[in-house]
Amino acid sequence: MSDENVNTLAEKYQSLRNIPGKIGGGEYDERVDSASGEKYQVMKALGDQLGLPGTPAADILSKLGKPDELTPTLDHSQASIQTMPGPTIPASGDGNANQSSANQQSFYFVYNLVPKKHYLYFKIDPVNEKVITSDWHKSD
C-alpha cells in the first residue's frame, strides 16, 4: 500500500471520527455506527497497513491522531482492579534511572469503533517505540 493511499485513508478516518453517530450522542449513521460501515472498513485498512511489526508509533499517531485510549493492558472484561500509581522499586541494581528494557512494560494505542467493545489496538514496544502487534477486539 502506498503512502499516498495511507494518507487518503487517514484523512477519511479523521473525517469519519468527527461524526458523532449514535454512540457519540447523535443520530444513527450507518457510516460510523455499523459494525461493517465505512469507518470500520477504513480503520481495518489502516490497521492492516500500520499494524505491521516494526512500524514506528509516530507513524500511527501522525495518521490516526491521538488514541481514544492509551493503556498498559487490554482489559477485555468489564471488571478491573484499580491500582495506585507509585514508585517502581528495582529488584536489583543500583537504582539508576537507566533500567533495562525488560523492566519497561509495553503499552497499547486503542482506537474505538464502539468503546470497550469493538476497537483497533496497537501494542507498542516502549524502548524502540515501534509496533509489536496489532489486531481488532470485538465483544458482544
Q: Model-level pTM? A: 0.78
pLDDT at 85: 55
Per-residue pLDDT of the chain (140 residues; tens, 9 = 90+): 567 799 999 999 999 999 999 988 889 999 999 989 999 999 999 999 999 999 999 999 999 999 999 999 987 554 444 455 555 555 544 444 444 445 689 999 999 998 889 999 999 999 999 999 999 998 87
Residue-range definition of the domain harbouring residue 31? 3-77+97-138
The end-to-end CA distance of the chain, in Å, is 32
Identify whether 113 is part of a domain. Answer: yes
Domain membership of residue 85 (yes or no) is no
pLDDT at 51: 97
In a domain, 41, yes or no: yes
Examine residue 86 and state whether it is found in any structural domain, yes or no.
no
Q: What is the pLDDT of residue 74?
A: 86
Question: What is the reported pLDDT for 140?
Answer: 72
Task: Identify the residue whose cell numbers are 490516526.
Answer: 64
Q: Is residue 87 part of a domain?
A: no
Which residues, listed in sequence order, are joined to residue 131 by a DSSP beta bridge? Answer: 124
Residue 106 pLDDT:
93
pLDDT value of residue 88: 53
Q: With respect to residue 39, please indicate whether it lies within any of the assigned structural domains.
A: yes
Number of domains in the chain: 1
CB pairs under 8 A, 24+ apart, for 20-27? Answer: 23/114, 23/115
Distances in whole angstroms, Cα of residue 30 to Cα of each of 20, 38, 68, 86, 131: 11, 8, 21, 44, 31
Q: What is the pLDDT of residue 113?
A: 93
Residue 104 domain-assigned?
A: yes
pLDDT at 101: 45
83 within a domain of the structure (yes/no): no
